[in-house]
Amino acid sequence: MSLSIRRAGPSDAPLILALVRELAEYERLAHEVVATQDELAAALFGQNPRVFCDLAEWTETPDPPQPAGFALWFYNFSSFRGRHGIFLEDLFVRPAHRSGGIGQALLRHLARRCLEEGLARLEWDVLDWNEPSIAFYKAHRAVPVEGWTRYRLTGDALGQLADGAA
């Protein structure tokens, strides 16, 4: 048995979309997934990608590797630190592969990237009801960012602001 983590490639777009949908089901947000395979492929593997994906694969010899989870991330920037960091958009391990260290391996993989590239931080969001994930992150000494509330513009509100109507 072995675990490997690799950078996703263009042929992985269907798998990535499937994993995104599985994550959305887990987070009770399946109704919000509107991304298509082509859109994900363009974002991840187009001429100037701004988002990246690492896939965790679990192999039990003699079987071929099985996709076990993924981390989808992008670079952000801290003006206070004067350096980039990584924002982890999605971290997901399929239920059959949980409690085997795969989530930890994906998180460690990104932490190593941060150190190798001299990045300032690794951060992410977690739903406030998701106690298993919160416990997992706290076990790795992650701390919540107190005093900050994320705001978001999408859909009509985004269009109205862009048009000057808001």
Instruction: Return d(Cα 162, Cα 134) in angstroms, integer.
Output: 36
Instruction: Return d(Cα 82, Cα 52) in angstroms, integer.
Output: 22
Is residue 76 within 8 A of residue 84, CB to CB? The reply is yes
| Sign of the dihedral defined by the CA atoms of residues 160, 37, 43, 23, in that order | positive
To the query of whether residue 75 is one of the catalytic residues in this protein, the response is no
Catalytic residue among 26, 75, 137, 151: 137
Instruction: Return d(Cα 151, Cα 31) in angstroms, integer.
Output: 20
Residues annotated catalytic, as ranges? 137
